[in-house]
Amino acid sequence: MDYKEILAQYRDLPGGIIEAFHAIQDEFGYLPEEAVLEAARGFAIPVAEAFGIATFYSMFSVKPRGKNVIRICESAPCHIAGATEVIAALERELGIKMGESTSCGRFALEFTECVGQCQGTPVITINGKPYTNVSPAAIPNILAEYKQA
């Protein structure tokens, strides 16, 4: 399905642009520039507003990124509990730095704010699924589940 078809499905819904962006990102893995421009036309909003929506919410990306989005909380509780060591383990295991995607397109590493799991710091999420009390030693086992998919 192309992005024009997806946009047409949501055009008449309140808040439809956000739902359309979710659907486009599910289909393409990110929001292509052409899709954001078409959304501005289709929803009759300024281009700057469409890009504002696409870039404001952390769940959207306007550049290609890995299929499995790994986010690590950068709040104080996670930082104190060892997030820096978990970040180093993720970067080492995947061969990329924070903000990058693997060349195979399987993984992306991003920072996020608190995910509401402070009872189990440090916390990472993969495609929204939280992993609590993460240690550097646990990273290979956590990633193994996603390397097969």
Do both 72 and 143 map to the same domain? yes
Residue 149 pLDDT level (bands cut at 50, 70, 90):
low
Mean pLDDT for 59-78 is: 90
Residue 18 has pLDDT above 70, yes or no: yes
Do both 18 and 50 map to the same domain? yes
Parent domain of 84: 68-147
Q: How would you write 70-115 as a 3-class SS string?
A: EEEECCHHHHHCCHHHHHHHHHHHHCCCCCCECCCCCEEEEEECCC
**Residue 45 is assigned to a structural domain of this protein:** yes
Which of 34, 32, 36 lies closest to 18 in space, CA to CA?
36
Mean pLDDT for 56-65 is: 88
Output the pTM of the full model.
Answer: 0.79
* Number of domains observed in the structure of the chain: 2
- Which pLDDT tens digit goes with each residue over 108-135? 999 988 888 889 999 999 998 999 999 9
126: domain CATH number is: 3.40.30.10
